[in-house]
Amino acid sequence: VTGESAESVIALGTQYLGYMAFFYILPGLTNGMQGFFRGMGKMKLSALNTFIQASIRTVATFILAPIFGISGIAFSCAIGWSVMLIFMIFKCYFLCKKESLLTIN
Residue 1 lies in a domain: no
* pLDDT tens readout for residues 53-101: 999 999 999 999 999 999 999 999 999 999 999 999 998 888 888 877 7
Other C-beta atoms closer than 10 Å to the C-beta of 83 total 19
Expressed as residue numbers, the domain containing 74 is 6-98
Listed in sequence order, the residues at least 6 apart from 44 whose beta carbon sits closer than 8 Å to its beta carbon are: none
Please tell me the distance from the alpha carbon of residue 27 to that of residue 15, in angstroms, as a whole number. Answer: 19
Residue 71 lies in a domain: yes
When divided into structural domains, the chain yields a total of 1
Residue 33 lies in a domain: yes
What element of type H or E holds 77?
A: helix 70-98
Residue 47 lies in a domain: yes
User: Could you give the percent of the chain with pLDDT greater than 70?
Assistant: 96
Residue 105 lies in a domain: no
What element of type H or E holds 23?
A: helix 6-23
